Amino acid sequence: MKKKLLKLKIKYAIFISIFFVILYKGAEFYTYTVDNVPSYFMEWERSIPFLPIFMLPYMTSAPFFLVTLFIVKNEKDLKLLMKRAIFLTVVSVSIFIIFPMKFYFPKPEINNSIFKFLFNVLGQLDSSFNQCPSLHVSFAFLSATVYYKEINSKIKYLLCMWGFLLAISILFVYQHHFIDFVGGTLIFIITCLIFPRKSY
């Protein structure tokens, strides 16, 4: 039974990775063809400091989520997690296409070689599009709920804190505006309401 569940987890991990990349990059490619993509932000956001150190949690988004697939203890929880991940990805990507947005603020010069490297990697993997709702935020909160439920030791509080840092990091690395954070949070909440744990 454990071997069967492990195989299913590996299968789902591969599937959601490919599924996510195809949809995410597809939306990004589409937005590149759109003229005059708008930006939405509030004036107070100009005072948000650019903090390169937040690249550390920001860049852990994918592994932070993928690990959750392997710590759930049964097939029902695994399938619920997959339903939530697929749903919030499809909804978010649909919004990216219907209401494309881009980030407005330019990134300041980075002197630290490590952070400069990380931002260069980010530039290759991410884009200034696919803004609202932020999938970084949605997946950070989705992952944190799994860590909180599945881990019995106090380390779960550290992991949940890391998930929160991951979510807010989008603001401090100048990758998303505040509306994207709110949108990502709302999509996560809506997803959990549509697919509640008791539903299965």
The model's pLDDT over 97-113, given as tens digits with 9 standing for 90+, comes to 999 998 888 888 888 78
pLDDT at 193: 95
Task: Look at the alpha carbons of 140, 146, 150, 152 in this order and tell me if their dihedral is positive or negative.
Answer: positive
Give me the chain's average pLDDT, please. 91
The pTM of the whole model exceeds 0.85: yes
Q: pLDDT per residue over 113-133, tens digit each?
A: 887 787 777 766 666 788 899
pLDDT digits (tens, 9 = 90+) for 33-87: 888 888 888 999 999 999 989 999 998 999 999 999 999 999 999 999 999 999 9
Question: 20-34, 74-88, 165-179: which range is least confident on average?
Answer: 20-34
Instruction: Tell me, letter by letter, the H, E, C secondary structure of 59-97.
Output: CCHHHHHHHHHHHCCCHHHHHHHHHHHHHHHHHHHHHHH
The burial class, CB within 10 Å (0-12 / 13-18 / 19+), for 175 is buried
DSSP state of 150: H
Given a contact cutoff of 8 angstroms between Cβ atoms, the answer to whether 46 and 106 are in contact is no
Q: What is the number of alpha carbons within 13 Å of residue 132 lying toward its C-beta? A: 20
DSSP at 173: T
> Residue for token digits 């990775």?
17
Contact 132, 101 (CB under 8 A): yes
Count CB neighbours of 126 within 10 A: 18
Percentage with pLDDT > 90 across the chain = 70
